[in-house]
Every structure is written in C-alpha cells, then in structure tokens.
Amino acid sequence: MIARQAVPLAIAIGAGLLMAVSYFLRPLGWMSESASEIFNVVSAIAFVLGAGSLLKANLSTISRRDRGWGYAAVTLGAFLVTLVVGMGKMGVNPSPSSPQAAWSGDQQTAETPFGWIYEFVLSPLSATMFALLAFFVASAAFRAFRAKNAGAAVLLVTAFVVLLGRTYAGVVLTDWMPGWASGLRLENLSNYLMGVFGSAGNRAILIGIALGVAATSLRILLGLDRSWLSREGGG
C-alpha cells in the first residue's frame, strides 16, 4: 500500500511544491529546470508506451480474428513501416555542415522516405480529417441552433457576421456603405465584435480557468485531491 499510494502521493506533492517554490526563489531555479528536462524526456518516453498499447490492442484483435481485424493489420503495418523508416533514418543524407556523422541529416524533407510519408500520407490525411469537420459542424449547427430566444438569436447573428466578415463576400455585400457608416461594414463589424465583446468574454473565461486550475492544483499539492491516484494504484 505504501508503494502504491503513499510514495506516489509524496512524489506528486514534492515535485509540485518544488516547482511552485522554485518559481519564487531564484537560487532554486536549477531544480525547476531539471524537473522540466525530466518532464520532457518522460513525455517523449510516454510515446513508446502509447505505441506499446497500440501494438498490444491491435495484435490481440488480429489474433482473436475479431470483426475488422484486417483494418487492425493495416494499422499495424502502417505503424511498423513508419517506425522502421523513421527510427533508422533510412535514405537520409548527412547534414552538409557535418557530413562525417551518418545520422546528422534532417529527415523531415520530401527527399527522404520518412518525409515522403509525412508529405503524402500523414499531412493530407490529417488535413482532410479536419476539413471533414466543416461539414459536421455545419450540419450540427443547422440541427442544434435555433433562434428560440434572444440569446440564441444573438449567438446566431454574431456567428453569421463573423463568417461573412471574414470572406470576400462580406466585403462585397457592404462595400456600398458610406464612410461615416463604415463601422457597420461586415468586416469592421466582425472585427469589433471579436475585439470588444469576444475579447471581454474570452478574458472572463481565461480568468475563470486560471482560478479553477490554481484551485485544483492546490488541492493536488495539499493531497486533498487523490482521484488520479486511485486509478493508477492498481496493477
């Protein structure tokens, strides 16, 4: 129980207090730097954990011949090919500034197999996945947004003004307005809504989030919030 509950709690409280205190005490700044370095490296190693979980889940799907096991095999194949090509820096020329070091070259260019995978597989797929959301957001908005009350109507009108104000259509539609009413042109109205009203709302939300994060962090550092511990204590 000590190893599963008390030690992790002590580590969390110690690391957290160290970070908080070193922010105010400059001589302890090196501790904060070291903790950040450790954090970065442990985060990078966490990718290996994610990859391990992916392998485990897909191999189990394939071995059980579950529904869609062929797609699991494709995932696994794509993963392994990218991993081997990237880890081995296959086909990468050394850096011109240090050609004596075989692995000194940059592999993020389309000349290399890893760069090829990024440019012709990962980048188009991720961009298209996000582009697909345009249809779903529009479809969801069409079904969910109804001007049932004044507040919802304001939301809809603002969204419409911002959408139009950011396109050439908005500029053309209100281009006829005289100079003294230029503030009502869609592009200016859009900027005003975002810069004044949107800015106020966003600031209030940010202040609320900051207070919430500070309160939750304090609860963790004081050992009052242990919800993260109970999930990880098992094994």
Partner 1 sequence: MTRQRMTWIVLTVVFVGLLVARGFVGQGLGRVYVERGEVSLAKDGRSDQGEPVWRTVPRDQAEHAWITWSRVTPKAFAEAQAKEPGQDRVVLSWPRTVGLWLAALLTLAIFSFLYADNPAYKLSESIFVGVSAAYWMVVGFWETLVPKLFGAILPGTVKAMVQPSLKVPAFSPWAPGTWDAADPAFWPWMQQWGSMAIALVFGVMMLWRLMPRGGWIAGWPLAFIVGMTAGRRMVTQVESDLMAQAEATMQSVLPVTPGLSAWDLFWGTLPGILVLVGVVCCLCYFLFSVQHRGAVGGAARVGVWYLMITFGAAFGFTVMGRIALLAERVEFLLDDWLWLIDPNHLRS
Binders of partner 1 among residues 97 to 116 (CB under 8 A) are: 97-104, 107, 110-111, 114, 116
Residue 153: alpha-carbon gap to chain centroid = 31
Of the pair 64, 124, the CB lying nearest partner 1 is at 124
Distance between CA atoms of 150 and 53, rounded to whole angstroms?
49
How far apart are the C-alpha atoms of 118 and 86, rounded to whole Å? 10
CA atoms of 2 and 21, how far apart (whole Å) = 26
Which residues 211-230 are close enough to bind partner 1 by CB under 8 A?
A: 211, 213-214, 216-218, 220-221, 228-229
Question: Of 25, 71, 146, 181, which one interacts with partner 1 (CB under 8 A)?
Answer: 71
Q: With respect to partner 1, which residue has the nearer C-beta, 181 or 213?
A: 213
Among 25, 90, 138, 184, binds partner 1 (CB under 8 A): 138
Q: Which amino acid is at 221?
A: L
Pick from 59, 90, 127, 169 the residue near partner 1 by CB under 8 A.
Answer: 127
Rounded to an integer, what is the distance from CA 45 to the centroid of its chain? Answer: 18
Least distance from partner 1 to the Cβ atom of residue 133, Å: 5
Q: Contact region for partner 1 (CB under 8 A) — 31-39, 59-67, 171-179?
A: 31-39
Question: Binder to partner 1 among 65, 67, 130, 142 (CB under 8 A)?
Answer: 130
- List Cα–Cα distances, 95 to 83, 85, 92, 98, 105, in angstroms: 21, 18, 9, 5, 4
